[in-house]
A and B are shown apart, each in its own frame.
Chain A
């Protein structure tokens, strides 16, 4: 027995000896990203190469692609396992958890011209006046329309008209990321009714509000009565030409490069409460626990400076006011016309509301997903389901 114990102690000592290396000398940086797109990675590696050329102490900058599905889970598992990256992309829905937990290092002093960042876009990443991640991609939702299927597209639809057109096309409207799971995507529709998942301070539930009930009733009718939206369990790909319209983020336009059909992009239709815009966001932050946090923050400053932001903007719309105009955007977005960029991107970013996010988002996500499941049936009682959502998430919202 004592021999076994000695063996355990030796093994543990060997393990701790390995992990105690010093932070001086040549540094390597690792950034977790959820893109595996060759064009994206090529640009990221170009920026990294430029940085390494002037910072010989940084010998390697590695971009570690983790699939978007389960990205945050993988990232937190790496952190829990003591294998945290130096920098990480962070989804808007995890922003409150990462920013409030103290996992990220402050970066405002490292960001070039930090005061030209659009305030509506940095709000999510700030705490007590300090910036904890740089919102490198701010991507408004718009309505992509397959004009091979829908000929008549006005500059601005109402939701009623858009759904009628979708139903008439016989192919329907899809929300590619929704899949009857990721309910937060529906905010791109219910904001037109002025509905919210929860109040501004995040303490009270918004699902049982009259606005939300109206919006969800509209959605339920569109799915099950008008058949304007394909029902649960079916997979319809807009980008392959199988749907008439898609509510999606502008950053998805790249998927239409080789499209076999003609298409256009219009702003989100207006709801009963008028015009609105919804944006999805992604930030990049420095993990406080990184041994090279200082170098990582320095690289982040370079990665997001004006020149590099302009380059990144072709894939990831920038929140720098100097870059936020149709002319600049048009240079790097050959697929989208300047007037579309103006109406969807520029106005979207300055007016937009970010998709709902909250501390403990993942637990809320799963609870709401489960509570909303009974809604996706033809005979659902919309009001009762929404009241139940609030009953289920109340303890989570009130928890501190």
Chain B
């Protein structure tokens, strides 16, 4: 009996086919993931070239870190603001653009186009527009409103970052909602209409339950995305004023790459990983309650 049986040969071919993807995720996902866990147990002085095992010390620091607490609060504000604004605006736009009217294609393209723009270019343009003498305040001045110095006020800076991010990405969720809305069978609406249901009742009792899988999907994507916002903060506010927009991932960047505390930075990324995993798990569990098809 030869070594190269059909079965073995088939297996080999199979492995070769998946090898590129497997190697890629090994090199760029799995190995870094394990390494980050390992780094978080060490103190790594990049300049001095020392790498010292310190056990759970970084995790202890995590518990006593006041700046981390303020970063978590900023992250929560950002995530809540972004998810609420993004999802409600996306759904509103989708419902409006789901009408069979002239020009809806133009508007769909218009609202979707920011998704395709380079993130940094988008943010830089907004940075100019949000200057005290910028075009946003120019527009407000046209209506007799004296606009604030958006990026220098503690609450206005956070609002600015959220709005810039929402306008950038709302088109993506809008398209997902549009697709879901078009999947709702028209006879259901007709039947409800005959039974005397108004527009709001039809929306609440038919549309929302039937597009609930998409609501779940978009909320997971948006929440996970909100925890990973970096370039906008780096360009618009650098975490300021004060530390009002220093969200978790920006704090991680500061600790690891600016303050050279790579070990502690790795510890924060473990925390971020746990938070994202926990949120996703919770949402996944809740799907039975939220999503019509799952009950």
Interface residues of chain A, those whose CB is within 8 Å of chain B, are 7-8, 11, 73, 76-77, 79-80, 97-98, 101-103, 180-181, 231-235, 288-289, 360, 362-363, 366, 369-371, 373-374, 376-377
Knowing A362-B260, A373-B241 are in contact, say whether A11-B27 is a contact too (CB < 8 A): yes
11 A/B residue pairs, CB under 8 Å, sorted by A: A11-B27, A73-B257, A73-B258, A97-B260, A233-B131, A233-B149, A366-B259, A369-B238, A370-B241, A373-B152, A373-B242
Is A233 touching B151 in the complex (CB atoms < 8 A)?
yes
List B9-62 residues whose CB lies under 8 Å from chain A.
22-23, 26-27, 31, 44-49
- Residues in chain B near residue A80, CB distance under 8 A: 44, 46, 262
Q: A97-B47, A233-B132 are in contact. Are A370 and B258 (CB under 8 A)?
A: no
Q: Are B257 and A101 in contact (CB under 8 A)?
A: no
List 5 tightest A-B contacts by C-beta distance, closest first. Answer: A101-B47, A373-B241, A101-B48, A103-B47, A363-B259
Taking CB as reference atom, which chain B residue is nearest A102? Answer: B48
**B133: CB under 8 A from chain A?**
yes
Query: Does B280 have its Cβ within 8 Å of any Cβ on chain A?
Result: no
Q: Are B49 and A77 in contact (CB under 8 A)?
A: no
B254 part of interface (Cβ distance < 8 Å): yes
Residues of B within 8 A of A8 (CB): 26, 31
- Please name all residues of chain B whose beta carbon is closer than 8 Å to the beta carbon of A97 when the two chains form the complex: 47, 260
Q: Is B165 an interface residue (CB 8 A)?
A: no
| Residues on A with beta carbons closer than 8 Å to the beta carbon of B240 | 181, 369-370, 373
Closest to B46 in A: A80
Instruction: Kindly name the residue among B149, B243, B258 whose own CB sees the greatest number of chain A CB atoms within 10 A.
Output: B258
Q: Which residue of A lies closest to B130 (CB)?
A: A233
Asked if B171 lies at the interface with its beta carbon under 8 angstroms from chain A, I say: no
Q: Are A98 and B47 in contact (CB-based, < 8 A)?
A: yes
Number of interface residues of B (CB under 8 A): 31
Nearest residue in B to A7 (C-beta to C-beta)? B26
Closest partner residue, chain A, to B27 (CB atom): A11
Docked Cα-Cα span, A54 to B144, in Å, equals 72
Contact of B260 among A76, A180, A235, A289 (CB under 8 A): A76
Asked, given contacts A97-B260, A373-B240, whether A102 binds B27 with beta carbons under 8 Å apart, the answer is no
With beta carbons under 8 angstroms apart, the residue of A11, A76, A181 that contacts B23 is A11
Q: Is the CB of A103 within 8 A of B149?
A: no
| Alpha-carbon distance between A10 and B49 when the two chains are bound, in angstroms | 27
User: Could you tell me the distance between the alpha carbons of A80 and B256 in the complex, rounded to whole angstroms?
Assistant: 10
The answer, among B133, B150, B239, B257, for a CB contact under 8 Å with A370, is B239
| Interface of chain A: mostly helix, strand, loop or mixed | helix
Q: Which chain A residues lie closer than 8 Å to B254 at the CB level?
A: 366
B200 shortest CB reach to chain A, Å: 43
Chain A nearest Cβ from B290, distance in angstroms: 37
Rounded to whole Å, the gap between the CB of A227 and the closest CB of chain B is 13
Interface residues of B in 126-176 (CB under 8 A from A): 131-133, 149-152
Cα of A19 to Cα of B49 in the assembled complex, Å: 17
User: Given A80-B262, A376-B152, does the pair A103, B48 have CB atoms closer than 8 Å?
Assistant: yes
User: Whole-angstrom distance between the alpha carbons of A363 and B131 in the complex?
Assistant: 27
Residues of B within 8 A of A373 (CB): 152, 240-242
A374 touches B47 (CB 8 A): no
**Which residue of chain A has the shortest Cβ distance to B133 in the bound complex?**
A234
A8 to B132, CA, bound (A): 55
User: Which chain B residues lie closer than 8 Å to A231 at the CB level?
Assistant: 132, 149
Q: A101-B47, A103-B49, A231-B149 are in contact. List 20 more A-B contacts (CB 8 A).
A: A11-B27, A76-B47, A76-B260, A77-B257, A97-B260, A101-B45, A102-B47, A102-B49, A181-B240, A232-B149, A233-B150, A233-B152, A234-B131, A234-B132, A360-B259, A366-B239, A370-B239, A370-B241, A370-B243, A376-B241
Contact A366 B258, beta carbon cutoff 8 Å: yes
Instruction: Using CB atoms, name the residue of chain A closest to B258.
Output: A362
Considering the complex, which residues of chain B in the window 206-248 have a beta carbon less than 8 Å from any beta carbon of chain A? 238-243, 246
Q: Are A76 and B46 closer than 8 Å at their CB atoms? A: yes
| Nearest-CB residue, chain B, relative to A181 | B238
CB distance from A394 to the nearest CB of B (A): 14
The CA of A366 and the CA of B131, in the complex, are separated in Å by: 22
Q: Shortest Cβ distance from A368 into chain B, in angstroms?
A: 12
- A106 and B145 alpha carbons, distance in the complex (Å): 61
A contact residues around B133 at 8 Å (CB): 234
Q: Which residues of B contact A360 (CB under 8 A)?
A: 259
CB neighbours (8 Å) of A11 from chain B are 23, 26-27
Contacts of B22 in A (CB 8 A): 7
> How far, in whole Å, are A180 and B242 apart by their CA atoms in the complex?
12
Assembled-state Cα–Cα distance A289/B219 (Å): 48
